[in-house]
């Protein structure tokens, strides 16, 4: 027995994209412009408990012990509305969510957050969904959450482009990617824990609407994905890293060319990127990727992780550095009542 209808708790971990999701073709359904591919981490889980409150007139959402309001509350309520509509149950709910991500670490807490919420809410409302359906559901909360339903490496399909919205919705979900044993680590360098100036939603839309570099990047990203799948199958971590780094730098180039420019990379980001180049010059395979913030995640062999972490720490003395490995998919916790 997995959870009890009416109440359920789930855990999910963040993921970091090696082939980036950047740009939507449908804002409401959260359909992306490109396929993306990520590694789910074994650090910073989010634990979320949903229980139905049939007597209540509204949803209550408590994030890290504080009642959510404004945009954060609105997103969770909109997500619960979707679940209620599918389940045919109108009850409001109480949601408790605990993030272990250091505040503002820029570590895709919306991915772990909406993956955990999807699994817990589906169970609490009595929806019997398989992993594919959960991925599709999590996508509606935050695109990258679709990938955190799965552990290890996962690809999120942009989905069918021609035909009905329903067909597009059905076909846009993540699934595990076959990979040889890479024994990878991701060294996470938090160089700035402050909140981002521009949300990824706004930045994506502006990039798609105004950047002359967006289409070329989207086209090249297709080739990157093909090469990435081959590199993962071959267990070639140098190729995996090279493709990931160029895909991420290309994504940031699209934003820099947006009007007005969106620039998430800071001086500290570039200092860490220099240290990654020095590591490679010294024969250590290490490759960087950055998301909608200045923090850097460095892909390397697990055997090299301590050395990479030290180099990155020296480069960003004010920041904090930790080593992550591939982690598990989202799951319901037992013993909930």
- Decide if residue 292 touches ligand PMV (CB under 6 A): yes
Strand partners, 326: 41
What does the per-residue mask of binding to ligand PMV show for 170-209, with x meaning CB under 6 A? ------------------------------xx--------
Interacting positions 252-291 with ligand PMV (CB under 6 A): 291
DSSP of 40-52, one letter per residue? EBSSS-EEEEEEE
Backbone angles phi, psi at 249, to 5 degrees: -65, -35
Nearer to ligand PMV, 111 or 308 (CB): 111
**Residue pair 64/57 in contact by the 8 Å Cβ criterion:** no
Place of tokens 């981002």: 196
Using CB under 6 A as the binding criterion, the count of chain residues that bind ligand PMV stands at: 14
**Residue pair 124/91 in contact by the 8 Å Cβ criterion:** no
Closest distance of CB 267 from ligand PMV, Å: 20
Both tokens of 249, joined, read: 């730098």
What does the per-residue mask of binding to ligand PMV show for 104-143, with x meaning CB under 6 A? ----x-x-------------------------------xx
Nearer to ligand PMV, 3 or 327 (CB): 327
DSSP of 266-308, one letter per residue? -HHHHHHHHHHHHHHHTT--EEEEE-SSS-EEEEEEGGGHHHH
SS3 115: helix
Closest distance of CB 224 from ligand PMV, Å: 12
Cis omega (within 30 of 0) for bond into 260: yes
Closest distance of CB 99 from ligand PMV, Å: 14
Closest distance of CB 255 from ligand PMV, Å: 9
- Decide if residue 304 touches ligand PMV (CB under 6 A): no
Backbone angles phi, psi at 217, to 5 degrees: -65, -45
Both tokens of 250, joined, read: 């290309």
Closest distance of CB 192 from ligand PMV, Å: 16
What does the per-residue mask of binding to ligand PMV show for 3-42, with x meaning CB under 6 A? --------------x--xxx-------------x------
Both tokens of 170, joined, read: 């059905």
Closest distance of CB 66 from ligand PMV, Å: 21
Residue numbers at the binding site for ligand PMV (CB under 6 A): 17, 20-22, 36, 108, 110, 142-144, 200-201, 291-292
């Amino acid at each position: 027995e997995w959870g009890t209808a009416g109440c359920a708790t789930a855990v999910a971990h963040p993921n970091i994209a090696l082939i980036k999701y950047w740009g939507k073709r449908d804002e409401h359904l959260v359909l992306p412009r490109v396929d993306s591919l990520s590694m789910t981490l074994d650090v910073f889980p989010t634990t979320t408990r949903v229980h139905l409150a049939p007597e209540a007139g509204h949803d209550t959402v408590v994030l890290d012990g504080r009642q959510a309001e404004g945009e954060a509350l609105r997103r969770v309520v909109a997500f619960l509305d979707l679940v209620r509509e599918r389940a045919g149950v109108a009850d409001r709910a109480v949601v408790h969510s605990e993030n272990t991500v250091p505040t503002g670490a820029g570590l895709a807490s919306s991915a772990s957050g909406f993956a955990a919420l999807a699994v817990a809410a589906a169970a609490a409302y009595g929806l019997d969904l398989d992993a594919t359906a959960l991925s599709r559901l999590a996508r509606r909360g935050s695109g990258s959450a679709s990938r955190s339903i799965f552990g290890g490496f996962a690809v999120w399909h942009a989905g069918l482009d021609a035909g009905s919205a329903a067909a597009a919705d059905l076909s846009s979900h993540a699934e595990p990617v076959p990979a040889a044993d890479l024994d990878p680590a991701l060294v996470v360098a938090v160089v700035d824990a402050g909140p981002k100036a521009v949300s990824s939603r706004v930045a994506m839309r502006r990039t798609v609407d105004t950047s002359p570099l967006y289409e070329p990047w989207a086209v090249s990203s297709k080739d990157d994905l093909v090469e990435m799948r081959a590199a993962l199958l071959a267990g070639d971590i140098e190729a995996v890293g090279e493709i990931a780094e160029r895909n991420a730098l290309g994504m940031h180039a699209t934003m820099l060319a947006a009007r007005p420019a969106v620039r998430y990379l800071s001086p500290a980001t570039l200092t860490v990127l220099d240290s990654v180049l020095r590591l490679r010059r010294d024969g250590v395979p290490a490759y960087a990727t950055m998301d909608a913030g200045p923090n850097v995640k460095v892909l390397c062999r697990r055997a090299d992780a301590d050395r990479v972490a030290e180099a990155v720490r020296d480069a960003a003395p004010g920041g904090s550095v930790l080593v992550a490995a591939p982690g598990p998919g989202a799951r319901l916790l037992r013993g909930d009542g």
